C-alpha cells in the first residue's frame, strides 16, 4: 500500500485546496499505478509557492546526494532552482528514503482540472523512479551537478536522452487526468 501525504509549505488559507488535492491524489495514484509500468513509491505531495518549491527541491537534492555539498555550490543551486521554480508547475524528486517528493507550484493551477493534469504527469515520474537504474542515474547526475563527483560525458548524454524519453512518456499519459476531474468537483 502506498503511503500518501499531502501538505502545504509556507501557504496559509489553502485548507480547501489541500483537501481537494488529497482527494485527487488518492484517485490519481490508483489510476497511474494501473496504467504505467513500475511500482508506485511512497509519496509526499507538497503544495507551495515558487520560493518554497526551490527551497524544498534544493534541500531534497542535497540530501539525495549524501549531503556532502559545498555551501557555495548549494547557494548557487538554490538561486538556479528559484529561477526555474517561477516557470515550473510541479516537480518530482526522488528522496533518500526511497519515496518521492512531489512539489506543486500552486500559482500555476487555477482549477482542479489543471492540477489533475500536473498530478498525473508527476506521478508518472514517480513510477519511473522505481524502474531499474533510474534512481541511480538521477543521483549520479545530481552529484555531478552539485560538484560532489564527476560523471563522464557519455553518462551525461545518456541521462539527457533518457530524461527526454521519460518526459514524452509523462506527457503521453496526461489524458488520464480527464478521469479525475469530475472527482474534484464532488
The separation between CA 145 and the C-alpha centre of its own chain, rounded to angstroms, equals: 18
pTM check: above 0.75: yes
The separation between CA 115 and the C-alpha centre of its own chain, rounded to angstroms, equals: 13
What percent of the chain is predicted at pLDDT more than 90? Answer: 85
- pLDDT band of residue 181 (cuts 50, 70, 90) is confident
Residues near 16 by Cβ (< 8 Å), separated by ≥ 6? none
**Tens of pLDDT, residues 112-126:** 899 999 999 999 999
Average pLDDT over residues 38-57: 96
pLDDT of residue 186: 45
- pLDDT band of residue 108 (cuts 50, 70, 90) is very high
> Which one has a higher pLDDT value, 16 or 90?
90
pLDDT at residue 180 tops 90: no
Average pLDDT over residues 51-57: 95
Residues near 23 by Cβ (< 8 Å), separated by ≥ 6? 183, 184, 186
pLDDT at residue 15 tops 70: yes
Which segments of 29-156 are extended strands (E)?
A: 43-48, 90-94, 100-105
**Tens of pLDDT, residues 144-154:** 999 999 999 99
User: How far is residue 128's CA from residue 100's CA, in Å, rounded to a whole number?
Assistant: 11
pLDDT at residue 184 tops 70: no
**Tens of pLDDT, residues 131-144:** 999 999 999 999 99
The answer to whether residues 50 and 104 touch, using CB atoms and an 8 Å cutoff, is no
pLDDT at residue 53 tops 80: yes
What percent of the chain is predicted at pLDDT more than 70? Answer: 97
Amino acid at each position: 500500500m502506498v503511503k500518501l501525504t499531502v501538505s502545504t509549505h509556507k501557504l496559509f488559507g489553502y485548507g480547501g485546496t489541500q483537501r481537494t488535492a488529497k482527494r485527487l491524489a488518492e484517485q490519481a495514484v490508483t489510476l497511474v499505478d494501473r496504467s504505467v509500468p513500475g511500482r508506485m513509491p511512497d509519496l509526499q505531495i507538497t503544495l507551495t509557492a515558487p520560493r518554497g518549491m526551490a527551497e524544498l527541491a534544493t534541500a531534497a537534492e542535497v540530501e539525495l546526494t549524501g549531503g556532502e555539498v559545498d555551501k557555495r555550490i548549494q547557494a548557487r543551486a538554490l538561486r538556479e532552482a528559484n529561477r526555474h521554480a517561477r516557470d515550473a508547475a510541479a516537480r518530482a524528486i526522488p528522496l533518500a528514503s526511497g519515496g518521492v517528493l512531489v512539489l506543486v507550484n500552486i500559482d500555476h493551477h487555477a482549477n482542479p482540472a489543471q492540477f489533475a493534469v500536473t498530478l498525473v504527469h508527476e506521478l508518472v515520474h514517480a513510477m519511473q523512479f522505481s524502474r531499474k537504474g533510474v534512481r541511480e542515474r538521477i543521483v549520479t547526475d545530481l552529484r555531478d551537478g552539485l560538484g560532489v563527483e564527476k560523471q563522464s560525458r557519455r553518462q551525461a548524454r545518456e541521462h539527457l536522452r533518457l530524461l527526454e524519453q521519460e518526459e514524452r512518456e509523462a506527457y503521453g499519459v496526461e489524458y488520464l487526468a480527464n478521469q479525475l476531474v469530475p472527482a474534484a468537483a464532488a
